[in-house]
Structure 1
Amino acid sequence: MTDNQTVTRFELLPNEILIQCFQHLDALQIFSSFDQLNSRFNELIRCIPLHLHFRNYPHSLCQRFCDEMLRNPSMRESIHSLHLSNKDEGMWIEFFLEMFAFETFPSLQSLTLIDAYHFNHSALLQMLWSVPSLQCFHLKDSNIDLNEIFSQVRRFPIRTLTLPRLSRYVTLLQYFVPLTSLTIETCNRYQLLQVLNAIHTLKYLQINNLSREAEESDRYDLEKFTHSLQHLVINNSHYRFNDIEMIIVHTPDLRRLTLFVDFQFNWFSSDEWNHWFHTYLPRLQIFKFCFRFHRSKYPSNVEEDLTAFQNSLQPYIRHHSIECFLSSCRGMIYTVPYAFSTFKFHAGMRRFHHTTIDGENTFGRVRQLKICTNEVERYDYHHYRRFSHREPRRSPFNEEYIFEPLRPDDIQCIIENFSHVKHLDVSKFSRQQNPSVLMEILRRTPHVTSLTMTSDTLISSLENTELRQYLQRMIRKLTITNSLYSSYENNIQWQLCVVFTNLQQLTCTFREERYVTYFLTHLPKLIRAQFTVTEWNQSSQALSLYASLRQSGMYIHMEYSENRPEQITCWINRETTDN
Structure 2
Amino acid sequence: MKFELLPNEILLDYFGYFNALDLFYAYDGLNYRLNKLIRTLPLHLNFQYANKSKFDTDFQIEAFLSFFSLNQFTNLRSLSITEINSTHNTKIKLMLPSISKLQTLSIISSDFPFNTINEILFIKILTISYCFLNELYQLLQHMPILKYLNIQCLNDDGYLYGTNRSNNTPCAIHLKEMIIGDLQSTFMNFKIFVKQIPNLQILTISTRKNRDMFDANLWEHLIRISLPHSITFNFNFGYIYDCIDDCIYGCIYGCIYKRYLYKYMFDEFQTNFWQEQYNCFTEYINDKQSIFIYTIPYISNTFELTPNTTRYYNTRINKTNESDDQIVIKKRKQSSNDQQVNEKGYQYINNEYKQMISLLGIQIKTDIKLRKRKRIESDNCNKIDIFKNVTDLTLHLDILTKECSYYFSNIISLTLVPSTILGQRMLTNQHIRILKTVINLFNLKHLNIGRIYGIEDSLVLLEIFKQSPKLSSIQFIPKAIIQLFNNGEL
The TM-score bracket by the shorter chain reads 0.5 to 0.7
Using the TM superposition, give the Cα deviation of residue 208 of structure 1 relative to its aligned residue in structure 2, in angstroms. 1.6
Q: Would the aligned equivalents of 1:147 and 1:167 in 2 still touch at CA under 8 Å?
A: no
Distance 1:353 1:172, change over 3 A: same
The answer to whether structure 1 residue 264 and structure 2 residue 211 are counterparts is yes
Q: Would the aligned equivalents of 2:233 and 2:280 in 1 still touch at CA under 8 Å?
A: no
User: Which amino acid counterpart does residue 456 of structure 1 have in structure 2?
Assistant: R
Query: Which digits, 9 at most, give the CA deviation of each residue in 1:10-37, with x for residues without a partner?
Result: xxxxxxxxxxxxxxxxxxxxxxxxxxxx
CA distance in 2, matches of 1:259, 1:208: 10
Q: 1:281 aligns with which of 227, 237, 240?
A: 227
CA distance in 1, matches of 2:458, 2:149: 48
Give 5+ residue unaligned stretches, structure 1: 1-62, 84-89, 98-114, 357-379, 503-579
The answer to whether structure 1 residue 408 and structure 2 residue 386 are counterparts is no
CA distance in 2, matches of 1:430, 1:178: 55
CA distance in 2, matches of 1:220, 1:302: 29
Alignment of 1:89-488 (within 5 A): 91-93=50-52, 95=54, 97=55, 118-121=59-62, 123-124=64-65, 126=68, 128-129=70-71, 131-140=73-82, 145-156=88-99, 157-165=101-109, 168-170=112-114, 177-210=121-154, 224=168, 226-227=170-171, 228=173, 229-261=175-207, 262-264=209-211, 268=215, 270=217, 272-294=218-240, 296-297=255-256, 299=259, 306-311=266-271, 313-314=273-274, 318-327=278-287, 329-353=289-313, 395=372, 397-400=374-377, 406-410=398-402, 412-414=404-406, 416=407, 418-426=408-416, 433-436=425-428, 439=432, 440-441=434-435, 444-451=439-446, 453=448, 455-457=450-452, 459-461=453-455, 464-472=457-465, 474=468, 475-478=471-474
Structure with bigger gyration radius: 2
Equivalent residue for 1:46? none
Using the TM superposition, give the Cα deviation of residue 259 of structure 1 relative to its aligned residue in structure 2, in angstroms. 0.5
Residue 120 of structure 1 aligns to a residue whose secondary structure is helix
Using the TM superposition, give the Cα deviation of residue 205 of structure 1 relative to its aligned residue in structure 2, in angstroms. 0.8
CA distance in 2, matches of 1:442, 1:206: 34
Query: Which digits, 9 at most, give the CA deviation of each residue in 1:515-551, with x for residues without a partner?
Result: xxxxxxxxxxxxxxxxxxxxxxxxxxxxxxxxxxxxx
Q: Would the aligned equivalents of 2:445 and 2:473 in 1 still touch at CA under 8 Å?
A: yes
CA distance in 1, matches of 2:145, 2:195: 18
Give 5+ residue unaligned stretches, structure 2: 1-17, 27-39, 242-254, 317-334, 341-348, 352-369, 379-395
CA distance in 2, matches of 1:219, 1:165: 28
CA distance in 2, matches of 1:198, 1:149: 16
- TM-score, normalization by structure 2: 0.59
CA distance in 2, matches of 1:248, 1:240: 13
CA distance in 1, matches of 2:85, 2:206: 26
Residue 295 of structure 2 aligns to a residue whose secondary structure is strand
Q: How many residue pairs were aligned? A: 371
Query: Which digits, 9 at most, give the CA deviation of each residue in 1:481-512, with x for residues without a partner?
Result: xxx7xxxx7x579679999x99xxxxxxxxxx
Residue 323 of structure 1 aligns to a residue whose secondary structure is strand
Using the TM superposition, give the Cα deviation of residue 233 of structure 1 relative to its aligned residue in structure 2, in angstroms. 0.6
CA distance in 2, matches of 1:310, 1:319: 10
Using the TM superposition, give the Cα deviation of residue 338 of structure 1 relative to its aligned residue in structure 2, in angstroms. 2.3
User: Which amino acid counterpart does residue 165 of structure 1 have in structure 2?
Assistant: S
Using the TM superposition, give the Cα deviation of residue 206 of structure 1 relative to its aligned residue in structure 2, in angstroms. 0.5
Using the TM superposition, give the Cα deviation of residue 177 of structure 1 relative to its aligned residue in structure 2, in angstroms. 2.8
Using the TM superposition, give the Cα deviation of residue 327 of structure 1 relative to its aligned residue in structure 2, in angstroms. 3.0
Alignment of 1:516-531 (within 5 A): none
Q: Would the aligned equivalents of 1:352 and 1:397 in 2 still touch at CA under 8 Å?
A: yes
After superposition, the CA RMSD in angstroms is 5.0
User: Which amino acid counterpart does residue 377 of structure 2 have in structure 1?
Assistant: E
Distance 1:469 1:187, change over 3 A: farther
Using the TM superposition, give the Cα deviation of residue 477 of structure 1 relative to its aligned residue in structure 2, in angstroms. 2.7
Distance 1:280 1:495, change over 3 A: farther
Equivalent residue for 1:19? none
Using the TM superposition, give the Cα deviation of residue 200 of structure 1 relative to its aligned residue in structure 2, in angstroms. 2.2
User: Which amino acid counterpart does residue 209 of structure 1 have in structure 2?
Assistant: C
Greater relative CO, 1 or 2 (CA 8 Å, sep 6+):
2
Q: Would the aligned equivalents of 1:324 and 1:353 in 2 still touch at CA under 8 Å?
A: yes
- TM-score, normalization by structure 1: 0.51
Residue 179 of structure 1 aligns to a residue whose secondary structure is coil
Using the TM superposition, give the Cα deviation of residue 399 of structure 1 relative to its aligned residue in structure 2, in angstroms. 2.9
